[in-house]
Structure 1
Amino acid sequence: MATRFKTNFKTAYQCRECGSTCYQPVIDRAPCGALLPNGQYRCAGCRTIFTDVQSWLAPRQGLARQHQSMPS
């Protein structure tokens, strides 16, 4: 039985929606029939599709403002 280890560190490289630290290229079938990456990425956690890795990392504008205005 595999044991899943919980890390004790935080990373800045995580999905803005769900916090997953993994993404994968989206694979589509080309007109010739081959399976090829289409230039987009999919979060491994919430399955949201992004056009580039920077948008996967970047917090949404509404959430960034909301976190700044909330009292600690």
Structure 2
Amino acid sequence: MYKCRDCGATSYQSVIGRAQNGALLATGQYRCTGCRNVFSSIREWWQPKRMPETYSHSTFG
């Protein structure tokens, strides 16, 4: 089941903006219905955040 990677909500809405001529249009972004965060794609909404790469050194110097 797909859910928000930040809050676990199971739904999102398309973000609607107003064009210069006054028309309401989808912006191509998505807003989580739980935490209200805005995502640039549906995949970004559900896909877990990548952890930064860490490097371990066995010796110093």
- Give TM-score, length-normalised by structure 2: 0.79
Quote the residue 1:58 is aligned against: 47
Quote the residue 1:45 is aligned against: 34
**Paired-residue identity, %:** 53
User: Which letter does structure 1 place at the counterpart of 2:27?
Assistant: N
**How large is the RMSD of aligned CA atoms in angstroms?**
0.7
Matched, 1:19 2:45: no
Q: In structure 1, what is the Cα distance between the partners aligned to 2:29 and 2:9?
A: 17
Give the number of the structure whose alpha-carbon radius of gyration is greater: 2
**After TM superposition, where is structure 1 displaced by more than 4 Å over at least 4 residues in a row?**
none
- Equivalenced residues, count: 51
Q: In structure 2, what is the Cα distance between the partners aligned to 1:61 and 1:53?
A: 16
The answer to which structure, 1 or 2, has the higher relative contact order (CA under 8 A, 6+ apart) is 2
Higher percent of residues as helix: 1
Q: In structure 1, what is the Cα distance between the partners aligned to 2:13 and 2:28?
A: 11
Could you list the runs of 5+ residues in structure 2 that have no partner in the other structure? 52-61
Could you list the runs of 5+ residues in structure 1 that have no partner in the other structure? 1-10, 63-72
